[in-house]
């Protein structure tokens, strides 16, 4: 019986269903060699499973033993990042392995759409954790590759396919037998040396090299003899696509001699976690979208904290001896008091007894000082059944030195900013009002200068319906960026509906771009905007000529739409990555751009968010980096823009003086890129911000900043 030959799929599923009466067999998920994988569901538990099927009649003589060994090995492993096995059944010439179904696809499939450095490092940590569990149980995987690392439906990474796994120290295949996938095999797997945990780490190093650079260190097109020679003798090209600290960890895993590699999967994970924290910042793990189940020491290393924890653990014993020795030294210290009675008599030494009372008033004054400070922040909520009012006392403006560059000074935060539930983006109207999107409320509000709040779009129910009718009755789904057109129309990046929608001055809403389907990136040819398949657009901007710019975040592009609704990519080939500077912007690579702005007479600026860059497209369509570096940027306030740290830029707003405000929610900062190409901190935690997302600047020089963590909108003076 051949499982991959002409035999009908229905016959295979019927045979499996007969052997597993407790399961409903639904469809074929894939096949390879003599095994196929079917989708199934436990009839009573409702649990979805994958059923791996082997036909021993068509397989080689050792396949049955390897299949049974895989079942036994998996049954002995219990780790969140290792696929779980539920059952093993033999029926005639069929061997059936019932395991956890991983519906999230393989790492290779995800890598085809591009992976950020933090996600790649998280994949490395999760895989290392799974290998540590396997190695602790005396098991080598021997076939780590992107196809054998999958994701569950909730995004949790799982290492699977232990079909050629081997017990450490057990006798294996004959020395002439190559076991594994040649591109990912360690040198010792080629020359017959006994394999150990280091061979799995070598394969993991190749996986990370490939995910970071887009290619394995030794290309698949090489013949078997050439691959063997490369693994044994040729050093890989330097991993320039990764931060140096991370590249060094990968390079160590790719050493030819097993003893030169990390001594264990845990040691590799600790090195990788510390290197990632060094390269991406201590908070990278909290920003990473991949769920991880890591041991405490690895998680601490990923936070950059192990060095701070280890000294305290070692110092107590060192501190305790000094604590015990003083008693031995105190007797001489007690004898002087016997000699000092005359020294106690002088009244000049009594003031030390009076100083405690002198110190207590300062201790009492802080409570006395806090009440005056707390009412301004505490009074507005009660007094504002109107936290919705912009009162004259909302902003305390300092008198700025007229000779100083006002747009280079940190902003003076308001003492009573406006409170709005779940604000995301903001745009200022010419009359001084502001529009605010409420992403999780699926609405857009207008806040008048006198504090009145007007509901302008979104019924509050998520959905795609309502075009052609009143905007207040229409459905939105996670509205993000906002923009105002020359005629006063409001444009909304209706993110989860994959559309750009327009609210006319008469209150009617229509779709101006996006088919509503989440689709592949747009090609270079122009097409009607309504036919575009957008991918969760986050930003939108409309210039004075009516040109609409869309940050198509999931499509890794910025799209320009003319007044006739003809759309074409302005920047981004649709393939995530970092390339293209000083060339045509259409062929450059971006990574999840979140916003775009086009100030009059200036370049078009893009927030290339996951590349940590601010990029510019000039009038000739040539792209360049305006500010930021992918890694190694300078955190100094006032650093030149080209080497400055701009974090993960999210929203952009031009200032009247020719600068550009850039929000960095991950670090709680708003930066100002000045007209002379310096990057300064405009507002941060010192001025009360926690997670700034949206930003806009009114023509009068007032900046409005959305603080999504505090559900506030701050009003700050810019110029």
The arithmetic mean of pLDDT across residues 462-482, rounded, is 95
Q: Give catalytic residues, as residue numbers.
A: 143
* Helix or strand holding residue 664 (H, E): strand 660-664
**Is 461 annotated among the ligand-binding residues?**
no
Q: Which two tokens stand for residue 594?
A: 């979140």
Contacts of range 456-464, beta carbons closer than 8 Å, 24 or more positions apart? 456/490, 456/503, 456/507, 457/490, 457/492, 457/501, 457/503, 457/509, 462/496, 463/497, 464/497, 464/499, 464/516
296-332: per-residue pLDDT in tens? 999 999 998 754 443 333 333 334 344 444 444 444 4
Q: For residue 461, give the DSSP letter.
A: S
Neighbours of 347 (CB within 10 A): 6
Beta strands 669-673; 660-664: pairing state: antiparallel
Instruction: Enumerate the β-bridge partners of residue 446.
Output: 435, 454
Instruction: Enumerate the β-bridge partners of residue 697.
Output: 703
Query: What are the strands of the beta sheet with 623-627, ordered from one edge?
Result: 595-597, 604-608, 613-617, 623-627
**pLDDT, the chain, mean:** 80
* Confidence label for 61 from pLDDT (cuts 50, 70 and 90): low
Which residue in 718, 673, 665, 667 sits closest to 696, CA to CA? Answer: 718
Longest Cα pair distance anywhere in the chain, in angstroms?
111
Distances in whole angstroms, Cα of residue 670 to Cα of each of 33, 606, 646, 651, 696: 56, 16, 9, 9, 11
Q: For position 115, what pLDDT does the model report? A: 82
Q: Which two tokens stand for residue 487?
A: 């005629």
Using an 8 Å Cβ cutoff, are 68 and 56 in contact?
no
What is the distance between the alpha carbons of residues 3 and 58, in angstroms, rounded to a whole number? 8
Q: For residue 348, give the DSSP letter.
A: G
Q: For position 595, what pLDDT does the model report? A: 97
Distances in whole angstroms, Cα of residue 363 to Cα of each of 355, 370, 542: 13, 12, 56
The arithmetic mean of pLDDT across residues 50-71, rounded, is 65
Distances in whole angstroms, Cα of residue 579 to Cα of each of 109, 223, 508, 555, 623: 22, 31, 41, 16, 10
Q: Domains in the chain, ordered, with CATH?
A: 7-100 (3.30.200.20), 105-303 (1.10.510.10), 425-513 (2.40.10.500)
Alpha helices in 4-97 (DSSP H): 9-19, 63-75
Query: Which tops the pLDDT comparison, 557 or 11?
Result: 557
Using an 8 Å Cβ cutoff, are 579 and 589 in contact?
yes
What sign results for the dihedral spanned by CA atoms 248, 253, 258, 264?
A: positive
Residue 683 has pLDDT above 80, yes or no: yes
Q: For position 689, what pLDDT does the model report? A: 92
Quote the percentage of the chain above a pLDDT of 70. Answer: 77
Would you say how long the chain is, in residues?
719
344-367: per-residue pLDDT in tens? 444 444 444 444 444 444 344 333
């Amino acid at each position: 019986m051949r499982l991959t030959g002409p035999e009908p799929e229905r016959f295979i599923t019927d045979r499996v269903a007969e052997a597993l009466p407790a399961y409903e067999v639904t469809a074929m998920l894939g096949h390879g060699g003599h095994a196929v994988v079917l989708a199934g569901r436990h009839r009573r538990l409702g649990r979805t499973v994958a059923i791996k099927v082997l036909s021993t009649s068509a397989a080689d003589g050792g396949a049955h033993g390897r299949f049974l060994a895989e079942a036994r090995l998996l049954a002995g492993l219990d780790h969140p990042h290792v696929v779980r096995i539920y059952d093993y059944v033999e029926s005639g010439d069929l061997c059936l392995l019932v395991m956890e179904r991983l519906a999230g696809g393989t790492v290779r499939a995800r890598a085809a759409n591009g992976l950020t450095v933090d996600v790649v490092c998280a994949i490395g940590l999760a895989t290392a954790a799974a290998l540590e569990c396997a190695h602790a149980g005396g098991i080598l995987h021997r076939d780590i590759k992107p196809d054998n690392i999958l994701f569950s439906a909730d995004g949790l990474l799982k290492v699977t396919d232990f079909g050629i796994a081997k017990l450490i120290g057990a006798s294996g295949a004959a020395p002439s037998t190559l076991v594994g996938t040649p591109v990912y095999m360690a040198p010792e797997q080629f020359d017959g040396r006994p394999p150990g945990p280091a061979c799995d780490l070598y394969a993991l190093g190749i996986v990370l090299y490939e995910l970071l650079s887009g290619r394995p260190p030794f290309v698949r097109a090489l013949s078997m003899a050439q691959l063997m020679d490369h693994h044994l003798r040729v050093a890989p090209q330097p991993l320039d696509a990764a931060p140096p600290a991370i590249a060094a960890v990968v390079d160590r895993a790719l050493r030819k001699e097993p003893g030169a590699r990390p001594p264990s999967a845990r040691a590799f994970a600790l090195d990788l976690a510390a290197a990632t924290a060094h390269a991406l910042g201590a908070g990278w793990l909290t920003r990473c979208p991949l769920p991880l189940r890591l041991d405490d020491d690895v998680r601490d290393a990923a936070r950059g904290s192990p060095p701070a924890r280890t000294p305290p653990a070692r110092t107590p014993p060192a501190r305790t001896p000094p604590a015990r020795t003083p008693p031995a030294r105190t007797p001489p210290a007690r004898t002087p008091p016997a000699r000092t009675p005359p020294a106690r008599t002088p009244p000049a030494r009594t003031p030390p007894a009076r100083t405690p009372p002198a110190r207590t008033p300062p201790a009492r004054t802080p409570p006395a000082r806090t009440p005056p400070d707390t009412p301004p922040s505490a009074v507005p909520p009660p007094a504002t059944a109107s936290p919705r009012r912009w009162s004259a006392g909302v902003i305390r403006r300092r008198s700025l030195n007229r000779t100083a560059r006002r747009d280079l000074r940190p902003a003076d935060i308001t003492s009573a900013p406006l409170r709005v539930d779940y604000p995301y983006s903001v745009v200022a109207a010419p009359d001084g009002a502001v529009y605010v999107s409420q992403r999780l409320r699926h609405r857009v509000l207008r806040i008048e200068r006198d504090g009145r709040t007007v509901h302008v779009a979104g019924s509050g129910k998520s959905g795609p319906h309502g075009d052609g009718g009143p905007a207040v009755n229409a459905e939105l789904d996670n509205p993000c960026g906002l923009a105002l057109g020359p005629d006063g129309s409001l444009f909304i990046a209706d993110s989860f509906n994959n559309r750009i929608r327009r609210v006319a001055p008469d209150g009617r809403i229509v779709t101006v771009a996006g088919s509503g389907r989440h689709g592949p990136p747009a090609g270079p040819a122009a097409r009607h905007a309504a036919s575009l398949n957008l991918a969760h657009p986050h930003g939108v901007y409309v210039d004075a000529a009516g040109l609409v710019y869309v940050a198509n975040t999931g499509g890794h592009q910025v799209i320009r739409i003319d007044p006739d609704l003809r759309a074409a990519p302005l920047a981004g080939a649709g393939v995530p990555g970092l390339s293209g500077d000083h060339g045509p912007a259409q062929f450059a690579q971006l990574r999840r751009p979140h916003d775009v702005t086009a100030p009059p007479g200036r370049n078009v600026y893009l927030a290339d968010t996951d590349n940590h860059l601010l990029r510019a497209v000039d009038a000739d369509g040539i792209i360049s980096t305006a500010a930021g570096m992918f890694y190694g940027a300078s955190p100094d306030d006032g650093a030149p823009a080209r080497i400055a740290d701009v974090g993960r830029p999210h929203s952009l707003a031009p200032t009247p003086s020719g600068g550009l405000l850039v929000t960095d929610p991950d670090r709680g900062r708003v930066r100002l890129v000045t007209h002379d190409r310096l990057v300064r901190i405009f507002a941060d935690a010192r001025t009360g911000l926690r997670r700034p997302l949206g930003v806009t600047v009114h023509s009068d020089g007032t900046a409005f900043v959305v603080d999504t963590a505090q559900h506030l909108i701050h009003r700050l003076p810019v110029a």
